[in-house]
Amino acid sequence: MFEFTEHTHKRYNPLTGEWILVSPHRTKRPWQGQTEEIAKDNMPEYDPNCYLCPGNSRSGGENNPEYKETFSFVNDFSALVTDIPEGDINDEDLLVAKSEKGFCKVICFSPRHDLTIAKMSRPEVKTIVDLWINEWNEISKNKEINYIQIFENRGAMMGCSNPHPHGQIWANQTIPDIPAKESAMQKKYMDEKCSCLLCDYVKKEIALNERIVAQNDSFVMLVPFWAVWPYETMILPKRHMSTIDQMSEKEKEDLASIMIINGIKFDNLFKTSFPYSMGIHQKPVNEESDKEWHFHFHYYPPLLRSATVKKFMVGYEMMANPQRDITAEQSANILKQLPDIHYTKNN
């Protein structure tokens, strides 16, 4: 008899159309490879050398205001800029390139250098949600912008350059590959079934209750059936919404609550400030795709076995398909059992 928990199988990601290989029997293999540094957990509330703390100066020469809640500014080293000439090349379909306009912003989540979302209060996290919505509304007025990516890199292991709680927004002229794939897959599902892919998925997950980690009136947090990273999660609204500015005040509060729970569960797992990359996928800007687009958050954390052993996406994963050992159901169950109180508050 085929058992998901015992036997190797492939799982389909209906959002991207990609497959992942699950090999549950491999969890027992020994590890003699690289271990990571444990993140420092004793940060000061204010760091005079931090370029994001209130009142400090940044490398671009500007000074941060004495902000009290959140603060956003144009990235001093933006990957995307507005002021470039348009151009493209196509040499017999082999050498193809195009100019790409856009801009990048940095968002400070809090004036406190030592906080993370997992350690913030609900009103504090709500100010981040409000800022994302303001930025979204402002940026989406720009007719040259077609996609807005809000994200957070957390922890040095994820290449985050500074522990001060912050995220980024990159906005560009064209729709990048991953959201474009999700857009096409959601549209295909809607065309075929006259229903929203993620509305149907959320309903199914709630009914099965095998991968749900937490939920409230408005949102679910779950380990997706097709998760690639060991403790990958998604936060999805229960109601159909294509962009974050469609949330009611109560939904914004519920979102803040579930983001905090997600952060606490992550930190409690290995009793460490858990690294991850998080991003919000929403409908492309200036496009009529409200019907099929269901906004959602992806959290991709690299840690596998402990605070120091991470999963490497190498070898087979680089050449063929992503692969995981522990099943999504096992990960969801582990996260679900963890307390909702941050481990540092038990001391």
Q: Check residue 247 for interaction with Zn ion (CB under 5 A).
A: no
Q: Check residue 53 for interaction with Zn ion (CB under 5 A).
A: yes
- Beta bridge pairs of residue 10: 21
- Stretch 328-347 residues interacting with ligand H2U (CB under 6 A): none
Q: Check residue 52 for interaction with Zn ion (CB under 5 A).
A: yes
Q: Which residues of 97-117 are buried (b: 16+ CB within 10 A; e: fewer)?
A: eeeebbbbbbbbbbbbbbbbb
Task: Using the rule CB under 6 A, give the single segment among 133-141, 162-170, 224-232, 266-274 that binds ligand H2U.
Answer: 162-170
Q: How far apart are CA 63 and CA 61, in angstroms?
A: 7
* Smallest gap from residue 252 Cβ to ligand H2U (A): 23
Q: Of the candidates 6, 45, 66, 76, which one interacts with ligand H2U according to CB under 6 A?
A: 76
Binding mask 302-321 for ligand H2U (x = CB under 6 A): --------------------
User: Which of the listed partners (ligand H2U, Zn ion, none) does 113 bind, with a CB threshold of 5 to 8 Å by partner kind?
Assistant: Zn ion
* Contact indicator for 225, 211 with CB cutoff of 8 Å: yes
Q: Check residue 113 for interaction with Zn ion (CB under 5 A).
A: yes
What's the token pair of residue 194?
Answer: 């006259």
User: Which of the listed partners (Zn ion, ligand H2U, none) does 164 bind, with a CB threshold of 5 to 8 Å by partner kind?
Assistant: Zn ion
Q: Check residue 44 for interaction with ligand H2U (CB under 6 A).
A: no
Task: Using the rule CB under 6 A, give the single segment among 17-25, 70-78, 117-125, 208-216 that binds ligand H2U.
Answer: 70-78
Active-site residue 240, yes or no? no
Q: Is 71 or 219 the residue whose CB approaches ligand H2U more closely?
A: 71
Q: Check residue 280 for interaction with ligand H2U (CB under 6 A).
A: no
- Stretch 148-207 residues interacting with Zn ion (CB under 5 A): 164
Spacing of C-alpha 314 from chain mean position: 21
Q: Check residue 296 for interaction with Zn ion (CB under 5 A).
A: no
Task: Using the rule CB under 6 A, give the single segment among 42-50, 55-63, 118-126, 305-313 that binds ligand H2U.
Answer: 55-63
Tell me which of 166, 281, 294, 296 is the catalytic residue.
Answer: 166
Q: How far apart are CA 321 and CA 313, in angstroms?
A: 10
Q: Is 80 or 334 the residue whose CB approaches ligand H2U more closely?
A: 80
* Contact indicator for 258, 217 with CB cutoff of 8 Å: no
Q: How far apart are CA 267 and CA 239, in angstroms?
A: 28
Q: Where does the chain show beta strands of DSSP type E?
A: 9-13, 18-22, 71-74, 88-91, 95-98, 102-108, 147-154, 166-172, 212-215, 219-222, 233-237, 276-281, 296-300, 323-324
Q: Of the candidates 15, 20, 39, 50, which one interacts with Zn ion according to CB under 5 A?
A: 50
Q: Check residue 75 for interaction with ligand H2U (CB under 6 A).
A: yes
* Smallest gap from residue 181 Cβ to ligand H2U (A): 24
Q: How far apart are CA 152 and CA 262, in angstroms?
A: 14
Spacing of C-alpha 187 from chain mean position: 22
Q: Of the candidates 90, 121, 137, 161, which one interacts with ligand H2U according to CB under 6 A?
A: 161
Identify the H or E element spanning 179.
helix 177-193
Q: How far apart are CA 99 and CA 65, in angstroms?
A: 34
User: Which of the listed partners (ligand H2U, Zn ion, none) does 317 bind, with a CB threshold of 5 to 8 Å by partner kind?
Assistant: none
Identify the H or E element spanning 192.
helix 177-193
Q: How far apart are CA 238 and CA 217, in angstroms?
A: 8
Enzyme catalytic residues? 166
Chain contacts with ligand H2U (rule: CB under 6 A): 51, 58-60, 75-77, 106, 153, 159-162, 166, 168
